[in-house]
Chains A and B, each alone.
Chain A
């Protein structure tokens, strides 16, 4: 029961709540939403992302392809289908989830309305996670810009986890879901990651390794190409119920992702770090 002496709060929540416009979101994210967003993303650092009007293809890159994502926050409904699809595709164990959906309150509003933000690995142009690896197990592929982990080399030291300002790396502590623990038929299903088709087993990689989103690169053909029509497409983008996750080659000026960056304003998170993420957000 409420304390009788306490002043009851004013009810009437139903006042005229302001609209959420695009401009609002941008302004709020920049002004203060982003600070809390950054706080949610970073381990300790409070950093505001800058508005980045992207140029799709940055000249001077030798790389053939630069795979990236353009995620439309207006279309993201926060359903988490991407998170489940990622598990279904990569067979990640408990505690390892290559993508998550952040739910960030837009601070100034009187109703705590959330903004949903799906967050895979950003496959940064300058990935802070790479140079800290003492054994050269993690690197950015020159052919497509995807940052990978060589499970055979990774010693599980987790420096890269600390180095990633976006919390996109996860340690595989060797936990298993009951379907694996109890040796159901599912226990024999391998993870297709890196086309290595590793079956889960105690003491076997990737248990003990650091793991991360690969843009489902195992779905590329021999030429390094994806094909949406035949289902060889990153699992999160394929299942996205609001069609919010656009995926493609940022080096190809005609790709959907490049076109979207030309037409729409996009931001990248923690731009000031100079990491140059290859994942953009449309607001």
Chain B
């Protein structure tokens, strides 16, 4: 019964006017019980519909989500080849907890975990990504040479054969001319990365990069330096005191188990303290929010350490046996008093004194940090100072502390390059990764794009491939990225959507949504667990999955490994040619699973409950204290007194290429930590004499150095950004269900600050930095530090689908394209801006 707009409006207005009175009348009627059930009758049931579409119809296929990088388990209801609904996978620990005792408590193979697993809003909204009518459906070729932002690419639809033939021809020409290294390749991580890496190896380019350096490689560098593990995980549920720096786990929800284990910890009496310039949704669950100036977290952590050491509240046994460099560190923090920190951080000294005491005397406690402090120019050292608080309180790898996870392994059967490829693989990486002393294998996007844009770097790349990524919004400095991409002779983008980056490409190839493809996901829980992503429907447009596209290109190029085997055609297990691309990849995956922790084939894996492999051995604590069996010590080299605490043990003499394998503690050779000293390092000797990418010496102590851009008269406000549960990166903004949850990203500002700028809640503003300006709408709330403004990242699209365009504010254009000079982390949070009324 559609009605005209005029009718609609009239009736709406009528209801609005009469609303209050009618409510009163109705309520009175209800209380008197008049006619409450007068109209009860049977509702008709559609038995045929139930049989066709009900929960018992069709199949429930276990898989893994990829709406974000969390890779949680899902169960997908498929009816007649159509995805009807996505639900949580009760057999996947990633959807429930990160501690095995919690997982196995009440677990059954029949029903999975006791309370049932969960998925986040994005996971629930996956069908809208799959059935997005704006998806790229067919290969597209650019016919307009103008690659400026906003230019119409004048796409020409072409066949897959034409697209692959033309791209392969360009790649072949590059390789044949001895310039294979001039191919640069960027990919989302987690998924389908191994075949892409293999392609780059066999093609002969060292320039494979992926997502992580846009995300948390700063945190990785910090923790790797102090305790030898890229990604320790917080054991929230068993903790009694949780201090988080710049992390929003109950809202950003990297893994969907986080809201449960954090709120459960609080329920069990834990105190949650959140240090953040913004009262994030996680801080909303905390007993205490500690507002801090952006980029000063390291100073605050040092002041906490100062109090803990000054008052001798630290875990002396742990520090003495399991750390190195404590004396130098203690000496360094001697003058890092709470009063010193107050002027830097804006946190009152009395607060620091109290929090330090609470942290050191409540057991067990943990301190964790993520991208808030990490995405500044001083992020790595700040992260070290924060992470080292865990060493002072002695809870590293202990229940309720920061756990070094036992990771599940899959075996990447990486091919050896042939002689042609080996030659160009000798070339340096275009992103100059070697200049970054604590870099990550994911590379340095910021350096790549700056080099390209400014014609710098060791050579001039000619072809770029970007897989399921949108650097135009994801890398700071959109203008630089656009300039860089335009310099490439050929840019190929594989994506599901016509993103801002795809709009600058020469070829766009349709990618797959995760429901259309395979992947293996080693889950981020504290003991080994692996989940399988599998195609629950065929790719909607008959397109190959990303790994198949890569393999198809590899076949067209005839890429061979060192032994002369045509890698992308020969089955990884059978050694026989496998023509079907999907079958070829299934064998590839099967080999990875068979050779990894699960030790079973893909077909066997699919039959596991929930298609998840979970190690029954569970979480192990204090693994650093494990003794090394005597039979593994034959031929070992002791770098000092065999009985003295701290003597590092090598598998063979260092001169003969020996590697540290353990450390003597309490009279036994123990595994220790994966650092050069095999202990937790307050002072990292390995950094002595190192210089960062800017040529500055690197301090082996976790020193506080102010970030290198502070507010001034012209740009007086810090600008930060963050993630929330409603969206991922810049890629969920055409999803109408998620836009229903969050349709715009107002610029959050303290009301006093707004008043200072003559602004009030809801005002449209121009946000301006030295690098660009953009429009926003302010939301005034005391949830924000008065010197700071901030917004949720990912909005402000000018491409990417009908719903995405023109919504909210993009922040990448306000920044320079910069990486942290130690780790190569893209610096997303270091911007200063001014505001004026639009």
Contact = CB atoms under 8 A, between A and B. Distances in A.
B30 A142 contact: no
A9 B756 contact: yes
Contacts of A184: 131, 133
A116 interface: yes
Nearest to B782: A112
B53 interface: yes
Contact of A150 (B43, B128, B757): B43
B39 interface: yes
A13 B31 contact: no
Contact of A74 (B25, B263, B283): B263
A240 interface: yes
Nearest to A159: B22
B659 interface: no
Interface in A27-54: 42-45
A75 B263 contact: yes
Contacts of B345: 14
Contacts of A77: 250-251, 259, 262-263, 281-282, 285, 725
Interface stretch (B12-20, B196-204, B228-236): B12-20
Contacts of A233: 116
A234 interface: no
Contacts of B130: 186
Contacts of B566: none
Interface string A148-174: 101010001011011111000000011
A136 interface: yes
B19 A43 contact: yes
B765 to A, nearest CB: 12
Contact of B29 (A110, A128, A162, A182): A128
Contacts of A127: 30, 36
Contact of B128 (A74, A179, A198, A275): A179
B752 A158 contact: no
Interface in B446-491: none
A79 B756 contact: no
A126 B36 contact: yes
A64 interface: no
A13 B750 contact: yes
Given A14-B346, A161-B15, A174 B284 contact: no
Nearest to B752: A9
Nearest to A275: B30
Nearest to B51: A197
B115 interface: yes
B149 to A, nearest CB: 25
B782 A111 contact: yes
B30 A185 contact: no
B30 A2 contact: no
A9 B289 contact: no
Contact of A89 (B52, B85, B786): B85
A265 interface: no
B23 A165 contact: yes
Contacts of B260: 75, 241-243
A228 B39 contact: no
B121 interface: yes
A253 interface: no
A130 B738 CA distance: 32
B116 A238 contact: yes
Interface residues of A, number: 111
B289 A273 contact: no
B36 A81 contact: no
Interface in B201-235: none
Given A43-B23, A239-B87, A273 B133 contact: no
**Which of B30, B46, B262 has most A Cβ within 10 Å?**
B30
Contacts of B35: 130-131
Interface in B25-42: 25-27, 29-31, 33-41
A197 B55 CA distance: 12
A138 interface: yes
Nearest to B52: A197
Interface string B341-380: 0000111101100000000000000000000000000000
Nearest to A141: B40
B389 interface: no
B461 to A, nearest CB: 37
Contacts of A1: 714, 716, 757, 834, 836
Interface of A: 1-3, 6, 8-17, 19-20, 42-45, 74-75, 77-81, 83-85, 87-89, 94, 97, 105, 110-116, 124, 126-133, 135-142, 148, 150, 152, 156, 158-159, 161-165, 173-174, 177-179, 181-182, 184-186, 188-190, 192, 194-198, 202-203, 207-208, 219, 228-233, 238-244, 273-275
Given A113-B279, A242-B263, 9 more contacts: A45-B23, A77-B282, A80-B742, A84-B737, A126-B33, A132-B22, A137-B39, A139-B40, A273-B30
29 contacts: A1-B834, A8-B756, A11-B786, A16-B351, A19-B288, A74-B266, A74-B285, A75-B263, A77-B263, A81-B725, A129-B26, A130-B30, A132-B29, A133-B39, A135-B39, A137-B39, A162-B22, A177-B128, A178-B803, A179-B128, A186-B83, A195-B45, A196-B49, A207-B2, A239-B123, A243-B115, A243-B260, A243-B264, A275-B30
Q: Which 8 pairs across A and B sit closest by C-beta, in order of nearness?
A: A197-B49, A136-B39, A9-B752, A163-B26, A44-B20, A208-B1, A128-B26, A274-B31
